């Protein structure tokens, strides 16, 4: 049963987090919305105004291409991460508690790496001089070493590597709460391990899978450094374009408009993930 607050002291516990949310999100976001309607001045920075020109540029083919690539890349990263992380997390939850703790600490350590370290690490691993292709040459799989970066494959690999630990940590609570008797009942009825996994476990956690896909999609949508370090300009995401417009093109109003759009898209997907999780909890 939900207990309703009766007096002002009941709100004291949420006063500090609410203040931090207002100070570090609501106020900056409000300023960003305001700047997005300002007018850019040639030879200067911008001036206060109320114009819709910055949002009208969203209808251009250039912006549509950048947005489509960013959304498609984030969706592909989310799908690959869930496909890889779901069976991995399921097998992890079947291990002893000590093994689970070791793996979780390892994943947290990987997740704590900065995007800069991940980007430079993968750029080295995929380079021609000190990359993995030299191992392929030594094994006789290739004749000469070659550089695998910059390229779409390098960007995708780096982003999947960055998002994989996050995906496992999001899936872990749902899979650890899964009733093991469901699989045992399926095995008793003659189902194979693979068939039990796809016909029992996956449908039972359908909502968790969907919410994880959405959360990883939002996580990948904000990726900024990896597309720059591992990809070509044609493979830059919306986050990179925002920085380029704000710093190098001195077009802060258009950058603010794109940032507002990106935040709203991310918040809408987060709300969708929370809705899916709520349905699973009530169901």
159 compared with 1, residue with greater pLDDT: 159
- Domain assignment present for residue 3? The answer is no
Q: Which domain covers residue 43, as residue numbers?
A: 11-282
Grade residue 2 by pLDDT with cuts at 50, 70 and 90. low
79 compared with 174, residue with greater pLDDT: 79
Rounded distance between C-alpha atoms, residue 136 and residue 151, angstroms:
19
- Look at residues 252, 246, 277, 283 and name the one whose alpha carbon lies nearest to residue 49: 252
- Domain assignment present for residue 184? The answer is yes
Task: Name the pTM for this structure.
Answer: 0.82
Asked whether the predicted pLDDT for residue 195 surpasses 90, the reply is no
107-132 per-position pLDDT tens digit: 988 888 888 888 888 888 888 887 78
> φ, ψ for residue 40 (rounded to 5)?
-75, 140
Asked whether the predicted pLDDT for residue 50 surpasses 90, the reply is no
Asked whether the predicted pLDDT for residue 193 surpasses 80, the reply is no
User: Tokens for 134?
Assistant: 């030299």
Asked whether the predicted pLDDT for residue 43 surpasses 70, the reply is no
81-100 per-position pLDDT tens digit: 999 999 999 889 888 889 99
pLDDT of residue 144: 83
Grade residue 156 by pLDDT with cuts at 50, 70 and 90. very high
Q: Residues 243, 224: contact at Cβ < 8 Å?
A: yes
Grade residue 157 by pLDDT with cuts at 50, 70 and 90. very high
pLDDT of residue 3: 57
- The count of structural domains within the chain is 1
What percent of the chain lies above the pLDDT cut of 90?
14
- Domain assignment present for residue 220? The answer is yes
238-258 per-position pLDDT tens digit: 888 888 888 888 888 888 888
- Domain assignment present for residue 242? The answer is yes
Asked whether the predicted pLDDT for residue 10 surpasses 70, the reply is no
- Domain assignment present for residue 172? The answer is yes
Asked whether the predicted pLDDT for residue 70 surpasses 80, the reply is yes
The domain that holds 227 is classified in CATH as: 1.10.3720.10
208 compared with 180, residue with greater pLDDT: 208
Mean pLDDT, rounded, of the chain: 83
Asked whether the predicted pLDDT for residue 276 surpasses 80, the reply is no
Q: Residues 152, 227: contact at Cβ < 8 Å?
A: no
Q: Residues 213, 163: contact at Cβ < 8 Å?
A: no
């Amino acid at each position: 049963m939900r207990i309703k607050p009766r007096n002002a002291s009941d709100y004291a516990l949420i006063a500090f987090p609410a203040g931090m949310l207002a100070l570090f999100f609501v106020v900056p976001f409000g300023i960003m919305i305001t700047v997005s309607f300002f007018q850019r001045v040639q030879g200067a920075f911008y001036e206060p105004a109320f114009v819709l020109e910055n949002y009208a540029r969203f209808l251009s083919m250039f912006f549509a291409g950048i947005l489509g690539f960013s959304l498609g890349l984030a969706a592909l990263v989310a799908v690959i991460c869930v496909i890889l992380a779901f069976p991995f997390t399921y097998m992890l939850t079947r291990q002893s508690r000590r093994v689970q703790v070791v793996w979780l600490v390892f994943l947290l350590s990987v997740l704590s790496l900065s995007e800069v370290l991940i980007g430079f690490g993968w750029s080295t691993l995929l380079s021609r001089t000190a990359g993995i292709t030299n191992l392929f040459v030594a094994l006789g799989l290739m004749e000469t070493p070659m550089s695998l970066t910059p390229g779409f494959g390098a960007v995708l690999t780096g982003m999947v590597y960055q998002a994989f630990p996050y995906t496992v940590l999001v899936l872990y609570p749902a899979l650890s709460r899964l009733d093991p008797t469901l699989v045992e009942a399926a095995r008793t009825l003659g189902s194979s391990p693979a068939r039990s996994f796809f016909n029992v476990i996956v449908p039972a956690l359908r909502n968790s899978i969907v919410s994880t896909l959405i959360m990883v999609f939002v996580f990948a949508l904000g990726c900024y450094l990896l597309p720059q370090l591992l990809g070509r300009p044609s493979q830059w995401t919306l986050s990179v374009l925002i920085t380029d417009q704000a710093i190098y093109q001195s077009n802060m109003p258009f950058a603010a408009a794109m940032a507002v759009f990106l935040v709203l898209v991310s918040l809408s997907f987060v709300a969708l993930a929370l809705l899916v999780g709520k349905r699973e909890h009530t169901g």
